[in-house]
Amino acid sequence: MKRNSGVSGSNRRFGHGAWARAALAVAGIGAIGAASVLGPGAWAQAVPGEYVGGAGRGQLQRDADAVRDTGASGLVVQARDAAGRDREARSGVADLEEGGSVPFDAYYRIGSDTKTFVAVVALQLVAEGTLSLDDTVEEWLPGVVTGNGNDGSRITLRNLLQHTSGLANYTDILFADPAQLTPENYLAQRFTAQTPEEQVALAMTRAPGWLPDARDPGAETRWAYSNTNYVLAGMIIERATGHPWEQEAHERIIEPLDLRHTMTMRTSSYVPQPTATGYLQFPGQEELTDTTLSVGGGADGGIVSTTSDMNTFLRALMDGTLLPAEQLTQMRTTVPADFGSPGAGYGLGIAWRPAEGCDAGVWFHGGTSFGTSSEAAVTPDGEVSAAAAVFTTRLGDQERFLEQAEATVAMIDRAVCG
C-alpha cells in the first residue's frame, strides 16, 4: 500500500533539485578516471545505431539515438517483454578516440541501483526474523550515529531504507565545494576508498535535517535522499549476519538468480571487459574526461552489472521470487519523494512513478557514477522491464544533464509501457 498514490499518465521529469542531487550525491566517489580529456565536439557526428530484436525495433533505436543526440558518448538498452523476449539497441561509440560500438553485454557500474539489492537483503532478513524494520540503528550499531544532534535510537531500519532518517548525505559533505571537483583531483584519488565508518563519521559532522518521532519513528514521512542511510544498512547487515553485505547479496540474490555478470567490486577501480569508456564533464569544464577507473562505492552504490542481469533482477523482485508477499508489500509502501517525477513515491530501496501507457506506473531506482548513468524500470507484475547504461555524466552543464536524463527515462518508459 502506498502512503501516497501518484496519478498515471505523465513521464518522469527532472527539475533543478534532481540535477543538484545527482551532481553531488554520486554514491561512493573516491576514484578518478584516466587522464584522457576530449573536446566537447568529439561525439557530435551521429554514429549509426544498431538494433537486435523483433517488434518495436524502430522506436527503441530512435529513442537510443535521441539519448545519444543529447551529447551522450554511447549507450546500450535492453527491453524484455512478458514472453521473456529481448530487444536491444545501442548508439554512439564505445570510446571517443577509438570508436567502436558499445557492447550489448557491456558491464557498467549501476551506482545507486545497488540500493535495491541491499534493501532486498535486509527484507529477507526481516522475513527470517533476524532483523525487524522497527530495529533502531543504536540497537545494532551502538554509538555510531551520534553527535551534532544525531541520535541512532530515533532512527529505524525502515527509516534508513526509505530515506526518512533525516541523516546528512556524506557525499554532499564530501563535495561541498564544487571547485574541488576537477579532473586533476579526480585523477589523484582514483584508487582511494573510504571505509563505511569514515563515511558515516563524515555525515555525523552535520546536524540531521530532522529526527523521526521518538514514539513512532517508522511513521516518518519526511524524505531526503542520503547515501549515508545505505552505508548504515550495509553495516547493520554485516553485524546481524556476521558476513559483509556483498556476501549476503551474492548468496541471496546473485547466485540464486544466476546473475553471472553481476558482481560487487569492493575497493577495485576496474570494470570488467567488455565495457565502454565512461566520461564525465566536470564543473567549469567544456571537455569530457575519461573517468572509467573509479572506486565504485559500497552498499550505497558498489555493484557492477549488465542490462540483461538488471532485467532479470527487477522481474524476479516484482514477481515475488525474491521476497515473501508481506515484505514485497512493505518494500512497495511509499512516501512522497522528490525523486525526479511529479507524483513519485519512494518505498524501501525502490521508487514508483507514473508512466504514460502503464496504468499502474512503473517501479525504478536509477544510479549515477562518475562516467555512467544506470536507468531501469519494471511493471508492478514483473512481466515487462527495460534497463540501460549511458556512458556519459555531466556535472558541468545542468541543461545537457537534464536533457540526457529526460531522454533516457523517456526511452525506458516507452520500452516498458509502449
If you search the block for the grid coordinates 502503464, which residue do you land on?
358
Q: What is the mean pLDDT of residues 363-381?
A: 97
pLDDT in tens, 185-213: 999 999 999 999 999 999 999 999 999 99
Which pLDDT belongs to residue 234?
A: 98
Q: What is the mean pLDDT of residues 121-137?
A: 98
The arrangement of strands across the sheet holding 392-394 comes to 37-38, 288-290, 279-281, 392-394
Minimum mean pLDDT range among 24-28, 118-122, 135-139, 244-248 = 24-28
Which pLDDT belongs to residue 107?
A: 98
Band (pLDDT 50/70/90 cuts) for residue 74 is very high
Pairwise pLDDT comparison (318 vs 341), residue with the higher score: 318
Band (pLDDT 50/70/90 cuts) for residue 50 is low
Band (pLDDT 50/70/90 cuts) for residue 54 is low
**Does the pLDDT of residue 14 top 90, yes or no?**
no
Which pLDDT belongs to residue 297?
A: 80
Which pLDDT belongs to residue 53?
A: 62
Packing angle of the helix pair 398-417, 16-24 (nearest 10 deg): 100
Q: What is the mean pLDDT of residues 14-28?
A: 41
Which pLDDT belongs to residue 4?
A: 37
Q: What is the mean pLDDT of residues 267-281?
A: 96
**Percent of the chain at pLDDT above 90?**
82
**Percent of the chain at pLDDT above 70?**
86
Average pLDDT, the chain: 89
pLDDT in tens, 376-408: 999 999 999 999 999 999 998 999 999 999 999
Which pLDDT belongs to residue 2?
A: 38
Which pLDDT belongs to residue 340?
A: 84
**Does the pLDDT of residue 22 top 90, yes or no?**
no
Which pLDDT belongs to residue 75?
A: 98
Pairwise pLDDT comparison (233 vs 16), residue with the higher score: 233
Which pLDDT belongs to residue 293?
A: 95
Band (pLDDT 50/70/90 cuts) for residue 141 is very high
Nearest to 208 by CA among 261, 134, 137, 279: 137
- Per-residue exposure over 363-377, b if at least 16 CB sit within 10 Å of its own CB, e if not: bbbbbbbbbbbbbbb
Which pLDDT belongs to residue 31?
A: 29
Band (pLDDT 50/70/90 cuts) for residue 92 is very high
State the catalytic residues: 112
HSE-CB for 112 with a 13 A CA cutoff: 28
Cis previous bond, 40, omega within 30: no
Minimum mean pLDDT range among 22-36, 332-346, 364-378 = 22-36
Apex CA 388: angle with CA 386 and CA 392, to 5°? 160
Band (pLDDT 50/70/90 cuts) for residue 179 is confident
**Strand extents, DSSP E, 62-185:** 74-80, 86-92, 108-109, 146-147, 150-151
pTM of the model: 0.90
